[in-house]
Chains A and B, each alone.
Chain A
Amino acid sequence: MNLSYLTTVANSTLRMMTPVLYVTLAAAVCSKVKILNISMEGVMLISAFFAIVTNWFTHNVFLSIITAIAIGVVVSAVVGFCIIYLKAQPVVVGMACNTMMSGLSIYLLYAIFHTRGVFTDPSLQGIPKINLPFIKDIPVLGQVLYNLTIVDYLAFASAIVLYIFLYKTVLGYRLRAIGINPQAAQSLGTKVERYQFLTVTLSGILSGLGGSLLSMGSVTLFIQNISSGRGYIAMAANNLGRSHPLGALLSSFFFGFCQSLGYILQGTSIKSQITTAIPYVATILALILFTVYGRIQKARRISRLRKEEPRETPASL
Chain B
Amino acid sequence: MKKLKLEWLKAFRAPLIAVTIGLFFGGVVMAFSGTNPITGIIALLKGGYGSTYALVTTLTRATPILFAALAASLAWGSGYSSMGAGGQMVLGALVCAIIAPLVPGPGWLVCLVSIAAAVLTGMAWSLLSAYISERFATSLLIITLMCNYLADGIASYFTTYVFKDPFGVDASAIQTQKLTVGVLPKLIGTYSLHTGFLLALLAAVLLWFVSRKTRFGYQAKMNGLNVNFARYGGVPSVKMMLLTLLICGGIAGLGGAIEVLGTRLRYVDGMITSPGYAWSGIIASLMAGNHPIGAIISSIFLAGLTTGGATVERQLGVASEVTLIIQGIITLLITAQLVIKWKKGEKS
Contact = CB atoms under 8 A, between A and B. Distances in A.
Interface of A: 38, 82, 86, 88-89, 91-93, 95-104, 106-107, 109-111, 116, 229, 232, 235-236, 239, 271, 273-274, 276-277, 280-281, 283-284, 287-288, 291-292
Contact of A91 (B137, B141, B143): B141
B324 A100 contact: yes
Given A86-B337, A104-B325, A97 B145 contact: no
B332 interface: yes
Given A95-B282, A271-B157, A273-B156, A111 B338 contact: no
Given A91-B141, A271-B161, A284 B146 contact: yes
Contacts of A100: 324-325, 327-329, 332
B32 interface: yes
Contacts of B323: 103
B142 A86 contact: no
A11 B192 CA distance: 52
5 tightest Cβ-Cβ pairs between the two chains A and B:
A103-B324, A100-B328, A277-B153, A110-B319, A96-B331
Contacts of A287: 132, 136, 138, 142-143
B153 A274 contact: yes
A97 B328 contact: yes
A235 B141 contact: yes
A38 B141 CA distance: 10
Contacts of A89: 286, 335
- Main SS of the interface on chain B? helix
Contacts of B147: 280, 284
A96 B81 contact: no
Nearest to A86: B336
Contacts of A276: 153
Nearest to B143: A284
30 contacts: A82-B332, A82-B335, A86-B337, A88-B335, A88-B337, A91-B81, A95-B282, A96-B329, A96-B332, A97-B332, A99-B331, A101-B328, A103-B323, A103-B327, A104-B321, A104-B324, A104-B325, A107-B319, A107-B324, A109-B319, A111-B33, A239-B139, A239-B142, A271-B157, A273-B154, A273-B156, A280-B147, A280-B153, A281-B146, A287-B136
A236 B32 CA distance: 37
Interface in B246-273: none
A106 B319 contact: yes
Interface centre among B160, B279, B336 (most CB of A within 10 A): B336
Nearest to B322: A107
A274 B157 contact: yes
B10 interface: no
Interface string B10-32: 00000000000000000001001
Contacts of B327: 96, 99-100, 103
A88 B139 CA distance: 20
Given A86-B337, A88-B337, A287-B138, A229 B149 contact: yes
Interface of B: 29, 32-33, 81, 132, 136-139, 141-143, 145-147, 149-150, 153-154, 156-157, 160-161, 279, 282-283, 286, 318-319, 321-325, 327-329, 331-332, 335-338, 341
A97 B279 CA distance: 13
Given A107-B29, A273-B156, A277-B150, A288 B332 contact: no
Contact of B32 (A86, A111, A232, A274): A111
Nearest to A275: B153
A110 B34 CA distance: 13
Contacts of B141: 38, 91, 235
Contacts of A106: 319, 321, 324
A288 B132 contact: yes
A97 B142 CA distance: 18
A93 B334 CA distance: 10
Nearest to A294: B137
Interface centre among A82, A92, A229, A236 (most CB of B within 10 A): A92
A190 to B, nearest CB: 25
A232 B144 CA distance: 11
A281 B157 CA distance: 15
Contact of A280 (B150, B160, B332): B150
Contacts of A239: 138-139, 142
Contacts of B279: 95, 99
Nearest to B269: A273
B335 A93 contact: yes
B276 to A, nearest CB: 9
A89 B337 CA distance: 10
